[in-house]
């Protein structure tokens, strides 16, 4: 998994490529990245999942971990471009209602602007 | 040539007399330095006159004794005992034959290694290091010897420190920088006198111990597979307060070369032994996990139950459990801890304990899962969550259930299959999680099929998933079978579908048929 960062105004966008999984030494790349952005004072995050073809339950756990960390610190984390497969997984686990899911990046950016 | 076997407060060591005159005293400018309060700064010297070796007292305060008689000057021959202060010095012929025999015969060492292997000893590496170090001390006549081996990280770690006379040192230290330098460059480092201005400051800690002479040589093995390139596995480090051992550097190199191969073999062997032990522990863990599960089949007047769980590794993160209650109801659960292997298995045991504690209560399934959720949140492990289906089938045919983010079970009825997905989100993430009860009436002949995602996400060699649809049609085909028959049919269909593809997740199925 690789994560690259982009900025759109005050919003930080993380493009995730590859599969989100717990690393060999229990490393949590995404959650760690999110934590460091929060430490830098960043509060508006978008995770772009267009490049994530597969996610297992451990990967979903990490995504939730990143989400919970953000929410606890008063930030908000929105997901865009989730694959059909990930949407299914979120539906089965009933986490779809927990996450803010958007079909496009623009919609997610707009939602920050309107304070949703 | 003679050599002197010196016994003093710091132990025993051999010192070769290379040239005469040879001075003995407390001062560091002597060829043999004795750190002994009863030894004068320059106490005595060995000289040669007309082919005869003599010892001469240099006006010392406490005198020189040869074979217990105080002398000002005396002829020396092999076997004589010299005493200065508290130190005793035995004079020996420096027989090249003796020197040769003190080099270890590595054929013997390899034979020993083979023996240790045959015994399955897990201490092979430790034993080999002792032999190597004692041999090196013998060859070099050094006082202290150290073996530092490279860690996977590349940093050197002290593995063994020995002093002459077969003593293991527990708190001894080498110079900090010499081993690192030798390991990095792959070339010897010989410091003949740490008291030289250029060295004293760099090695102050070592100098404080009276150490003057250091020899450090890399341990390297040739890699035949990699075109004969060498790989360094660590360093051999010897030091001493005396001059006189550096003449055996050639022998020491031969020893280091042979020793590196033996150490590497021992290390590889030990790895195999340790891996085998870890595998054995996992097998035991797997047995315990299997033993924690209830029997895979159960039946009473109203229910017939059958289940299986197949971990994709030795231990798994899936569990099934059921509890026949005194009021005739049957409660049951299938749960899946995120992740696989040992870490998931530990959490699985915790989850099973929580369910067992809840099973006796008469509470509604949603209440049970709420409590399990709160318990898990209190013990939360970041990113770990549990999906679970918990149901209670009462004697009047009411099935109340709660589905916490788990794959929706099939309820096969005469009117067709239903999916049971009422409940809430996964357990262990949100302590505010809200869970709802689902309720459905079960008639005689209806069958409830619970499963984990390892079943529907099992893939074949083409990378296709087994999926809900295949599971559905498999259940359609096993209509009218017993619970055990349905479980067997699912297992058969799964293994036929997956073929040679390796399982990537734990797979669990539990079937409850209402009679």
pLDDT (0 to 100) of residue B479: 85
For residue B49, the surrounding DSSP H or E stretch is strand B44-49
Does the structure show a pLDDT above 50 at B456? yes
Nearest neighbour of A64 by CB, restricted to B343, B408, B429: B429
Nearest neighbour of A57 by CB, restricted to B339, B408, B430: B339
Does the structure show a pLDDT above 80 at B13? no
pLDDT (0 to 100) of residue B100: 41
Does the structure show a pLDDT above 90 at B131? no
Alpha-carbon gap, residue B54 to B49, rounded angstroms: 7
**E strand segments, B325-437:** 330-337, 386-393, 398-404, 410-413, 416-419, 423-424
Chain A nearest-CA distance from B29, in A, is: 55
Phi and psi of B169, rounded to 5°? -95, 130
- Judge: B385–A61 Cβ closer than 8 Å, yes or no: yes
CB-based contact, A98 to chain B, within 8 Å? yes
Q: Among all residues of chain B, which has the CA nearest to that of A23?
A: B339
Strands B229-240 and B32-33 turn out to be unpaired
Q: Using an 8 Å Cβ cutoff, are B419 and B389 in contact?
A: no
Omega before residue B21 within 30° of 0, cis: yes
pLDDT (0 to 100) of residue B107: 53
For residue B175, the surrounding DSSP H or E stretch is none
Cβ neighbours around A24 below 10 Å, total: 6
Contacts 24+ apart (CB under 8 A), A111-116: A111/A78, A112/A10, A112/A11, A112/A44, A112/A76, A112/A78
Task: Summarize pLDDT for B176-206 with one digit per residue, the tens.
Answer: 788 999 999 988 888 776 666 555 555 656 6
pLDDT (0 to 100) of residue B370: 93
Mean pLDDT estimate for chain B: 83
pLDDT (0 to 100) of residue B97: 45
pLDDT (0 to 100) of residue B423: 94
**Token pair of A66 as six digits:** 């990143």
Q: How far is CA B270 from CA B117, B274, B275, in A?
A: 9, 6, 8
Mean pLDDT of B429-437: 87
**For the domain A2-111, what is the CATH superfamily, name and number?**
STAS domain (3.30.750.24)
A92 chain-B contacts, CB cut-off 8 A:
387, 405-408, 453
Mean pLDDT of B325-343: 86
Q: Where do runs of H (alpha helix) occur along B46-93?
A: none
Q: Where do runs of H (alpha helix) occur along B209-326?
A: 249-292
- Judge: B383–A28 Cβ closer than 8 Å, yes or no: yes
Q: Which of B242, B261, B175, B187 is nearest to B29 (CA)?
A: B242
Q: Using an 8 Å Cβ cutoff, are B32 and B6 in contact?
A: yes
**Token pair of B80 as six digits:** 């004589």
Bigger pLDDT: B296 vs B249:
B296
- Judge: A58–B383 Cβ closer than 8 Å, yes or no: yes
Does the structure show a pLDDT above 70 at B113? no
pLDDT (0 to 100) of residue B286: 81
Sorting pLDDT into bands at 50, 70 and 90, what band is B412?
A: very high
Alpha-carbon gap, residue B487 to B390, rounded angstroms: 19
DSSP-assigned states of every residue in A91-106: HHTT-TTTSEEESSHH
The pLDDT > 70 percentage for chain B reads: 85
Q: Using an 8 Å Cβ cutoff, are B15 and B4 in contact?
A: yes
Does the structure show a pLDDT above 60 at B437? yes
Sorting pLDDT into bands at 50, 70 and 90, what band is B505?
A: confident
In eight-state DSSP terms, residue B30 is S
Bigger pLDDT: B85 vs B259:
B85
pLDDT (0 to 100) of residue B198: 58
Alpha-carbon gap, residue B219 to B76, rounded angstroms: 40
pLDDT (0 to 100) of residue B254: 73
pLDDT (0 to 100) of residue B200: 57
Residue reference for tokens 């005793």? B88
Chain B nearest-CA distance from A93, in A, is: 3
Nearest neighbour of B429 by CB, restricted to A26, A31, A68: A68
Nearest neighbour of A65 by CB, restricted to B343, B382, B404: B382
Bigger pLDDT: B3 vs B22:
B22
Bigger pLDDT: A57 vs B436:
B436
CB-based contact, A96 to chain B, within 8 Å? no
Instruction: Delimit the domains of chain A by residue range.
Output: 2-111
In A1-60, the residues whose Cβ lies within 8 Å of chain B are 22, 26, 28, 31, 56-58, 60
Does the structure show a pLDDT above 70 at B368? yes
Q: Among all residues of chain B, which has the CA nearest to that of A29?
A: B383
Alpha-carbon gap, residue B74 to B49, rounded angstroms: 11
B402 chain-A contacts, CB cut-off 8 A:
none
The β-bridge partners of B64 are B71, B84
Most B CBs within 10 A among A94, A95, A99, hence the mutation to make, goes to A94
- Judge: B405–A95 Cβ closer than 8 Å, yes or no: yes
Does the structure show a pLDDT above 90 at B173? no
Sorting pLDDT into bands at 50, 70 and 90, what band is B486?
A: very high
pLDDT (0 to 100) of residue B490: 95
pLDDT (0 to 100) of residue B440: 96
Weakest mean pLDDT among A23-27, B176-180, B446-450: A23-27
Q: How far is CA B365 from CA A97, B23, B362, B403, B414, in A?
A: 22, 92, 9, 9, 25
Q: Which of B314, B269, B10 is nearest to B165 (CA)?
A: B10
Residue reference for tokens 């450090």? B216
Give SS3 for B144: strand
Bigger pLDDT: A5 vs B247:
A5
Chain B nearest-CA distance from A57, in A, is: 5
In total, the C-beta contacts within 8 angstroms joining chain A to chain B are 55
Sequence-distant (≥ 6) Cβ neighbours of residue B501 within 8 angstroms = B458, B459, B460, B461
CB-based contact, A65 to chain B, within 8 Å? yes
Q: Among all residues of chain A, which has the CA nearest to that of B385?
A: A61
Q: Residue B47 burial by CB count (10 A; 0-12/13-18/19+): exposed, middle or buried? A: middle
Bigger pLDDT: A76 vs B505:
A76
Bigger pLDDT: B315 vs B182:
B182
What is the maximum alpha-carbon separation in chain A? Answer: 40
Phi and psi of A37, rounded to 5°? -65, -40
Chain B nearest-CA distance from A71, in A, is: 12
Chain B positions contacting chain A at CB under 8 Å are 336, 338-340, 343, 382-385, 387, 404-408, 423-426, 429-430, 453, 505
Q: Using an 8 Å Cβ cutoff, are B336 and B351 in contact?
A: no
Strands B213-223 and B229-240 turn out to be antiparallel
Task: Summarize pLDDT for B218-255 with one digit per residue, the tens.
Answer: 998 877 665 667 888 999 998 887 655 555 677 777 77
Mean pLDDT of B265-278: 81
Task: Summarize pLDDT for A66-113 with one digit per residue, the tens.
Answer: 888 898 888 999 999 998 888 888 888 888 888 889 989 999 999 888
A31 chain-B contacts, CB cut-off 8 A:
382-383
Task: Summarize pLDDT for A35-78 with one digit per residue, the tens.
Answer: 899 999 999 999 999 888 777 777 788 888 888 889 888 899 99
pLDDT (0 to 100) of residue B102: 42
Residue B203 C-alpha from the chain's centroid: 33
Nearest neighbour of B405 by CB, restricted to A62, A65, A94: A94
Q: Among all residues of chain B, which has the CA nearest to that of A66?
A: B383
Bigger pLDDT: B487 vs B286:
B487
């Amino acid at each position: 998994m690789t994560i690259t960062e982009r900025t759109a105004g005050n919003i930080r966008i993380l493009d995730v490529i590859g599969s989100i999984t717990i690393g060999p030494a229990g490393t949590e790349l995404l959650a760690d990245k999110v934590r460091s952005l929060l430490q830098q004072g960043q509060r508006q995050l978008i995770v772009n999942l267009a490049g994530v073809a597969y996610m297992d339950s451990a990967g979903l756990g990490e995504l939730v971990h990143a989400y919970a960390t953000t929410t606890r610190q008063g930030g908000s984390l929105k997901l865009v471009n989730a694959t059909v497969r990930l949407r299914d997984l979120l539906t089965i686990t009933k986490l779809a209602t927990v996450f803010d899911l958007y079909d496009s990046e623009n919609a997610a950016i707009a939602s920050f602007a309107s304070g949703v | 040539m003679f050599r002197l076997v010196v016994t003093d407060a710091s132990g025993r060591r051999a010192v070769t007399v290379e040239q005469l005159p040879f001075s003995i005293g407390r001062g560091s400018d002597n060829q043999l330095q004795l750190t002994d309060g009863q030894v004068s700064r320059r106490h005595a010297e060995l000289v040669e006159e007309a082919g005869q070796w003599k010892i001469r007292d240099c006006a010392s305060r406490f005198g020189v004794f040869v074979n217990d008689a105080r002398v000002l000057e005396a002829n020396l021959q092999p076997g004589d005992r010299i005493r200065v202060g508290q130190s005793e010095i035995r004079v020996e012929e420096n027989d090249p034959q003796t020197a040769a025999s003190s080099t270890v015969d590595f054929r013997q060492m390899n034979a020993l290694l083979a023996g240790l292997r045959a015994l399955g000893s897990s201490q092979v590496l430790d034993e080999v290091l002792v032999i190597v170090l004692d041999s090196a001390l013998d060859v070099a006549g050094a006082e202290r010897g150290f073996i530092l081996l490279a860690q996977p990280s590349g940093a050197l770690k002290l593995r063994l420190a020995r002093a002459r006379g077969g003593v293991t040192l527990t708190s001894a230290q080498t110079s900090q920088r010499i081993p690192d330098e030798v390991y990095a460059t792959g070339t010897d480092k010989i410091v003949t006198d740490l008291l030289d201005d250029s060295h004293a400051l760099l090695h102050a800690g070592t100098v404080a111990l009276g150490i003057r002479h250091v020899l450090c040589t890399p341990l390297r093995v040739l890699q035949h597979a990699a075109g004969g390139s060498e790989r360094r596995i660590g360093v051999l480090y010897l030091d001493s307060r005396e001059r006189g051992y550096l003449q055996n550097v050639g022998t020491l190199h031969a020893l280091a070369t042979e020793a590196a191969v033996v150490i590497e073999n021992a290390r590889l062997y030990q790895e195999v032994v340790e891996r085998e032990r870890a595998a054995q522990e996992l097998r035991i863990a797997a047995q315990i996990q299997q033993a924690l599960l209830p029997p895979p089949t159960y039946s009473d007047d109203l229910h017939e139950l059958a289940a299986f769980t197949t971990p994709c590794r030795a231990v798994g993160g899936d569990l099934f459990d059921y509890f026949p209650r005194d009021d005739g109801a049957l409660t049951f659960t299938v749960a899946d801890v995120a992740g696989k292997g040992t870490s998931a298995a530990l959490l699985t045991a915790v989850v099973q304990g929580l369910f067992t504690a809840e099973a006796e209560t008469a509470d509604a399934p949603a209440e049970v899962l709420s409590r399990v959720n709160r318990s898990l949140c209190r013990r939360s492990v970041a990113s770990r969550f549990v999906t679970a289906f918990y149901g209670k089938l009462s004697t009047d045919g009411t099935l109340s259930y709660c589905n916490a983010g788990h794959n929706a079970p099939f309820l096969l009825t005469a009117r067709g299959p239903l999916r049971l997905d009422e409940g809430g989100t996964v357990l262990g993430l949100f302590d505010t999680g809200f869970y709802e009860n689902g309720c459905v009436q079960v008639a005689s002949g209806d069958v409830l099929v619970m499963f984990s995602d390892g079943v529907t996400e099992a893939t074949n060699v083409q990378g296709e998933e087994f999926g809900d649809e295949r599971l559905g049609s498999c259940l359609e085909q096993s209509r009218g079978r017993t619970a055990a028959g349905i479980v067997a049919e699912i297992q058969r269909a799964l293994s036929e579908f997956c073929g040679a593809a390796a399982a990537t997740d734990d797979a669990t199925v539990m079937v409850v048929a209402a009679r």
